[in-house]
Copies of this chain bind each other. A is one copy, B any other.
Amino acid sequence: MFPQEIDAMLLLRRCHSLTRLGSLGPQRCKAASPLASLAARLCSSRREDQRSSQHVNNSASWKTVVAGLLTGTGAVLAYTLHHQKVERADAGLPSEAKSSPLPVFNYDEVTKHRSLEDGIWVTYKGGVYDITEFVAMHPGGNKILLAAGGALEPFWALYAVHDQEYVLEILSQYKVGELSVEDQKKQENTKASDPYASDPERHPVLRVNCKKPFNAEPPSEILTESYITPHVFFFKRNRLPVPQVDTASYRLQVEGLSGGELSLSLEDLKTQFPKHTVTAAMQCAGNRRSDMNNIKEVQGLNWGVSAIGNAKWGGARLRDVLLAAGFGPEVAKWARHVHFEGLDKDVTGTAYGTSIPISKAISEEGDVLLAYEMNGEDLPPDHGFPLRVVVPGVVGARNVKWLGRIVISAEESASHCQQHDYKGFSPGTDWSKVDPKSAPAIQELPIQSAITVPADGAVIDRSEVTLTVKGYAWSGGGREVVRVDVSLDGGNTWQVAQLRNGDEGETAEPSPPPGRAWAWKLWELTAPLPPQAEELEIICKAVDNSYNVQPDTILPIWNLRGLLNNAWHRVKVRVRED
């Protein structure tokens, strides 16, 4: 889940920069929520609305908007329509009114405006803004109230996407005065430090999808160079600054059982429970989103094919910890889900949270770990130090990092991440029709594979007698990849690739028991370079041991969040004549 705050600002950005949508680079964080996209849709239809203003003045529409104010959707609608009103009102104002000098306020005066009754005021770089009207339209909800009566800067530092021209543009509409010079100086002296300042160093080779919070993936050609992905190259998917955890005071809380809560130190986890290691791939549901985005725009970070990695995780079994906490036949009668909460709490104190079915959590064959090691070393900060849950075979989003709390429950997590995000919808479902309740939260992922070598657009010399194609393949739910088919001619003919589950020249890992193939497989095909072709369309598609296969094309699995892209992966290479 992206913080709702980000959604809000991205909504604004999108409404103000429709013409720039096409040029969004990978360095910009893209909105992740239905709200933002609904806004985009509404914004897209604005031009028509502007032409026929009766749409805007239609009182029935306004009633709908007002009725919806308490809901996120209402907020977006309200924002969009309100914005049009502001624009028209501006247009009608005499120019001297617009340029009249604004009053100067003391900080004390600003701090009095912290409620809807007294008005919501904020400051930003010496300006004073009355955002009362905007609060209900803030798609991020009332988190915006946390800034009431004070400076926006520390919050915008946390949610770095606010730092965009068009966000300022919107803010400017609410300007009501200037902060006194004296108070401006005071604010500068107490300027919030960058909350991301303590984030760890990352390797510059990573392709950054979003800097703050940090989201990045390795170049695909590095990805399959090793069967075990080194942590530096393992994709990073953060939602907030990396929490700084003091291991001495760290405690994992296990709750929801009648015997009270269990509180475990890191040492307890390491000494009271047997250590297990599991080699498991982990994949973001948004892996390969960029290809889906290229077909038809979707919402979310623009991941390439490398939002996946394969690591050796070490830790206590979740099962063992749940049993120690009192899980037994009585609990089994009512318990249906296990919730996980991270220590990466947002400004409202809401932790990143999600849940998995109890059957997966408690099963001996489920291999769910409370991992304190990655590839034989302490978990790195970007991957959840000191503890993360590793749910093999299940979407990355459930593998909560910086794990602070486990709750056994009869209900699924009520979090945004569980209930609204990370669900798949029909290609025919747009933001106006989407009903999050109609789809289950993604748990197990479908069969997947991608080509990592050669890169799309690569040029091959005709003198090369053979062509080597490499990639990875993996399936969720512990289903083992049993075959990868590769085509060099756009799918007309297929050859079977060599699979391996270890590094070349090293002893492969033993075959996993049925239903517990958590690791990926690397694959490779060396075949004669087709003699005539000037361009090759190389395709891969994998099959798992349930004989599920990847679909041929992206459009029929397209979905508004750009999740679950597991269509055949295609790269084109050009053959250069000698």
Question: If the complex has contacts A494-B556, A496-B428, are A546 and B483 also in contact, measured as CB distance less than 8 A?
Answer: no
- A553 contacts B by Cβ under 8 Å: yes
- A158 contacts B by Cβ under 8 Å: no
Residues of B within 8 A of A545 (CB): 440, 443-444
User: What are 16 A-B contacts with C-beta separation under 8 Å?
Assistant: A359-B514, A359-B515, A360-B514, A427-B494, A428-B496, A440-B545, A443-B546, A444-B545, A445-B546, A446-B547, A446-B548, A447-B548, A477-B546, A547-B564, A549-B557, A550-B551
Residues of B within 8 A of A106 (CB): none
Residues 549-561 of chain A: 1 if any B CB is under 8 Å from the residue's CB, otherwise 0? Answer: 1111100110000
Which residue from B357, B446, B480, B485 sits with its C-beta under 8 Å from A426?
A: B485
Residues B439 and A482 in contact, CB atoms below 8 Å apart: yes
Residues 179-214 of chain A: 1 if any B CB is under 8 Å from the residue's CB, otherwise 0? Answer: 000000000000000000000000000000000000
Chain A interface (Cβ < 8 Å from any Cβ of B): 357, 359-360, 365, 424, 426-429, 438-440, 442-447, 476-477, 479-480, 482-483, 485, 491, 493-496, 513-515, 541, 543, 545-553, 556-557, 564, 566
Residues B496 and A445 in contact, CB atoms below 8 Å apart: no
A408 to chain B, nearest CB (A): 16
Which residue from B424, B428, B440 sits with its C-beta under 8 Å from A495?
A: B428
Question: If the complex has contacts A439-B483, A541-B556, are A496 and B551 also in contact, measured as CB distance less than 8 A?
Answer: no
Residues of B within 8 A of A446 (CB): 546-549
- Given contacts A360-B514, A439-B482, 17 further A-B pairs with CB under 8 A are A359-B365, A359-B515, A424-B543, A426-B483, A426-B496, A427-B485, A428-B485, A439-B483, A443-B545, A444-B479, A447-B548, A476-B546, A477-B479, A494-B556, A548-B548, A551-B551, A552-B553
A482 to chain B, nearest CB (A): 6
Residues B549 and A552 in contact, CB atoms below 8 Å apart: no
Report Cα–Cα, A543/B444, bound state, in Å. Answer: 13
Residues B482 and A440 in contact, CB atoms below 8 Å apart: yes
A388 to chain B, nearest CB (A): 22
Report Cα–Cα, A479/B447, bound state, in Å. Answer: 14
Report Cα–Cα, A550/B547, bound state, in Å. Answer: 11
Residues of B within 8 A of A495 (CB): 426, 428
Report Cα–Cα, A546/B442, bound state, in Å. Answer: 7
Question: If the complex has contacts A494-B556, A547-B442, are A514 and B426 also in contact, measured as CB distance less than 8 A?
Answer: no
Residues of B within 8 A of A360 (CB): 514
Residues of B within 8 A of A485 (CB): 426-428, 556
Nearest to A480 among chain B residues (CB) is: B440
A182 to chain B, nearest CB (A): 58
A519 to chain B, nearest CB (A): 17
A511 to chain B, nearest CB (A): 11
Which residue from B445, B483, B556, B564 sits with its C-beta under 8 Å from A491?
A: B556
A241 to chain B, nearest CB (A): 31
Residues of B within 8 A of A357 (CB): 514
A516 to chain B, nearest CB (A): 9
Residues of B within 8 A of A440 (CB): 480, 482, 545
Top 7 A-B pairs ranked by shortest CB distance? Answer: A552-B552, A444-B546, A428-B494, A446-B548, A548-B548, A357-B514, A446-B547
A360 to chain B, nearest CB (A): 7
Report Cα–Cα, A548/B493, bound state, in Å. Answer: 24
Residues of B within 8 A of A443 (CB): 514, 545-546
Report Cα–Cα, A86/B20, bound state, in Å. Answer: 79
Nearest to A514 among chain B residues (CB) is: B357
Report Cα–Cα, A438/B480, bound state, in Å. Answer: 14
A542 to chain B, nearest CB (A): 11
Report Cα–Cα, A438/B497, bound state, in Å. Answer: 12
Report Cα–Cα, A556/B553, bound state, in Å. Answer: 12
Nearest to A545 among chain B residues (CB) is: B440
| Most B CB within 10 A of own CB, among A482, A513, A552 | A552
Residues of B within 8 A of A494 (CB): 426-428, 556
Nearest to A360 among chain B residues (CB) is: B514
Residues of B within 8 A of A564 (CB): 547
Residues of B within 8 A of A491 (CB): 556
Report Cα–Cα, A491/B359, bound state, in Å. Answer: 37
A550 to chain B, nearest CB (A): 7
Nearest to A427 among chain B residues (CB) is: B494
